[in-house]
């Protein structure tokens, strides 16, 4: 004969255990799980040339009908060059960007968009959220590149490497109707 008290106790234990397991699973979510649910996903763009590896990690915002440069991202102001955390670039061997020497390391990649040209900034202060705590004192290098109008609207911010010559690549930043190109020479 089945004892109803035993069945009830068993069901209570089973329900309690299920509840505790579901709570534990929820609290064990790691940062990677949270990152997948962001409006602006994390994207990695990279290039490998002989012994030199360059990687850019950025949050990829979307236009979503907004005016981007001169609107959402004002001209003349430091921009994190993406969404969420400041964009970071990692370089494994010495290179030249727009003719300036860059030693191996990881740098925050900031830009100052302008109508005709952008200022490109490699900054040594990592782990920043946006450009809210940007400090020019930590700038490693700065240089300007021309801004170009694209032939079509680019919905998602896109950072790519285009292999153009044997020892040179172009780091391209494109969004909305604007594109800038940063020449990189492998040494």
Chain segment 63-76, per-residue pLDDT in tens: 999 999 999 999 99
Task: Identify the burial level of 121 via C-beta atoms within 10 angstroms of its C-beta, where 0-12 means exposed, 13-18 middle and 19 or more buried.
Answer: buried
Q: Contact at 8 Å (CB) between 178 and 149?
A: yes
- Residues in the chain where the model's pLDDT stays below 50: 7, 11, 15-35
Look up tokens 């929820």; give the residue.
26
Is the overall model pTM greater than 0.85, yes or no? no
Please report the pLDDT score of residue 133 as a whole number: 94
**Whole-angstrom distance, CA of residue 87 vs CA of residue 157:** 12
Please report the pLDDT score of residue 39 as a whole number: 82
Chain segment 122-136, per-residue pLDDT in tens: 999 999 999 999 999
Domain boundaries, the chain: 1-30, 38-186
Please report the pLDDT score of residue 27 as a whole number: 37
């Amino acid at each position: 004969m089945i004892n109803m008290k035993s069945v009830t106790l068993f069901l209570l234990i089973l329900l309690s255990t299920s509840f505790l397991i579901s709570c534990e699973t929820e609290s064990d979510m790691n940062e990677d799980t949270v990152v997948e649910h962001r409006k602006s996903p994390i994207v990695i763009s990279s290039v490998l040339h002989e012994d030199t590896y360059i990687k850019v990690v950025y949050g990829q915002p979307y236009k979503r009908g907004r005016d981007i440069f001169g609107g959402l991202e004002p001209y003349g102001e430091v921009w994190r060059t993406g969404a969420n955390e400041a964009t970071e670039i990692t370089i494994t061997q010495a290179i030249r960007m727009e003719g300036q020497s860059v030693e191996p390391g990881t740098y925050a990649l900031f830009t100052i968009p302008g109508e005709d040209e952008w200022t490109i900034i490699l900054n040594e202060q990592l782990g920043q959220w946006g450009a809210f705590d940007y400090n020019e004192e930590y700038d490693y290098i700065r240089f300007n590149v021309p801004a170009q109008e694209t032939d079509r609207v680019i919905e998602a911010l896109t950072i790519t490497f285009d292999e153009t010559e044997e020892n040179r690549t172009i780091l391209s930043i494109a969004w909305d109707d604007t594109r800038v190109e940063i020449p990189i020479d492998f040494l």
